[in-house]
Protein backbone atom coordinates (compact mmCIF):
# COMPACT_ATOMS: atom_id res chain seq x y z
CA UNK A 1 0.00 0.00 0.00
CA UNK A 2 1.40 3.34 -1.06
CA UNK A 3 1.93 6.19 1.35
CA UNK A 4 -0.91 8.70 0.83
CA UNK A 5 0.13 11.08 -1.93
CA UNK A 6 2.67 8.64 -3.40
CA UNK A 7 0.21 6.32 -5.17
CA UNK A 8 1.19 7.53 -8.64
CA UNK A 9 4.91 7.20 -7.88
CA UNK A 10 4.78 3.66 -6.52
CA UNK A 11 3.47 1.97 -9.68
CA UNK A 12 6.25 3.22 -11.98
CA UNK A 13 8.82 2.51 -9.24
CA UNK A 14 7.66 -1.10 -9.03
CA UNK A 15 7.87 -1.40 -12.82
CA UNK A 16 11.47 -0.16 -12.76
CA UNK A 17 12.22 -2.59 -9.95
CA UNK A 18 10.74 -5.47 -11.93
CA UNK A 19 13.54 -5.05 -14.44
CA UNK A 20 15.98 -5.78 -11.61
CA UNK A 21 14.02 -8.82 -10.38
CA UNK A 22 13.83 -10.21 -13.92
CA UNK A 23 17.64 -10.20 -14.13
CA UNK A 24 17.80 -13.07 -11.64
CA UNK A 25 18.20 -16.34 -13.55
CA UNK A 26 15.63 -18.12 -11.33
CA UNK A 27 12.91 -15.52 -11.94
CA UNK A 28 10.48 -17.21 -14.30
CA UNK A 29 7.96 -14.36 -14.57
CA UNK A 30 7.10 -11.11 -12.79
CA UNK A 31 4.25 -8.63 -13.09
CA UNK A 32 2.39 -6.03 -11.06
CA UNK A 33 -1.29 -5.14 -10.85
CA UNK A 34 -3.04 -2.19 -9.22
CA UNK A 35 -6.22 -2.53 -7.18
CA UNK A 36 -9.24 -0.85 -8.77
CA UNK A 37 -11.20 -0.42 -5.53
CA UNK A 38 -8.17 0.77 -3.53
CA UNK A 39 -5.78 2.47 -5.97
CA UNK A 40 -3.08 2.82 -3.32
CA UNK A 41 -2.70 -0.99 -3.30
CA UNK A 42 -0.46 -2.89 -5.70
CA UNK A 43 0.15 -6.62 -6.02
CA UNK A 44 3.45 -7.93 -7.31
CA UNK A 45 3.48 -11.54 -8.49
CA UNK A 46 6.80 -13.25 -9.13
CA UNK A 47 7.27 -16.88 -10.17
CA UNK A 48 10.55 -18.39 -9.02
CA UNK A 49 12.21 -21.66 -9.98
CA UNK A 50 12.14 -22.61 -6.28
CA UNK A 51 11.36 -21.15 -2.88
CA UNK A 52 15.06 -20.98 -2.10
CA UNK A 53 15.73 -19.08 -5.32
CA UNK A 54 13.67 -16.26 -3.83
CA UNK A 55 14.31 -16.53 -0.09
CA UNK A 56 18.02 -17.32 -0.22
CA UNK A 57 19.52 -16.55 -3.63
CA UNK A 58 17.60 -13.38 -4.53
CA UNK A 59 17.11 -11.92 -1.07
CA UNK A 60 20.70 -12.68 -0.10
CA UNK A 61 22.21 -11.46 -3.34
CA UNK A 62 23.12 -8.10 -4.87
CA UNK A 63 19.86 -7.68 -6.82
CA UNK A 64 17.64 -7.44 -3.72
CA UNK A 65 18.99 -4.08 -2.50
CA UNK A 66 18.79 -2.78 -6.08
CA UNK A 67 15.11 -3.84 -6.26
CA UNK A 68 14.28 -2.28 -2.91
CA UNK A 69 16.04 0.98 -3.81
CA UNK A 70 13.29 1.62 -6.36
CA UNK A 71 10.42 1.29 -3.88
CA UNK A 72 11.87 2.33 -0.50
CA UNK A 73 10.04 5.26 1.03
CA UNK A 74 6.93 4.80 -1.11
CA UNK A 75 4.92 2.26 0.91
CA UNK A 76 3.26 2.54 4.33
CA UNK A 77 4.50 -0.73 5.80
CA UNK A 78 6.88 -3.39 4.53
CA UNK A 79 5.20 -5.46 1.81
CA UNK A 80 3.61 -8.74 2.85
CA UNK A 81 5.25 -11.71 1.15
CA UNK A 82 3.56 -15.07 0.62
CA UNK A 83 4.73 -18.12 -1.29
CA UNK A 84 2.32 -20.27 -3.29
CA UNK A 85 2.53 -23.52 -5.21
CA UNK A 86 0.32 -25.02 -7.91
CA UNK A 87 -2.57 -27.20 -6.73
Give 10-35 pLDDT, tens digit per residue. 999 999 999 999 999 999 999 999 99
- What is the pTM for the complete model shown? 0.91
Note whether residue 16 is domain-resident: yes
Q: Note the Cα 56 to chain centre separation in Å.
A: 16
Note whether residue 28 is domain-resident: yes
CA atoms within 13 Å, Cβ hemisphere of 36: 0
Inform me whether the pLDDT recorded for 51 exceeds 90.
Answer: yes
The domain of 16 spans 7-49+61-71
Note whether residue 83 is domain-resident: no
Amino acid sequence: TAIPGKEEQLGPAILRGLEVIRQHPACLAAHVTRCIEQPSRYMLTVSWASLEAHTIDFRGGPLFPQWRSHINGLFETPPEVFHYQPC
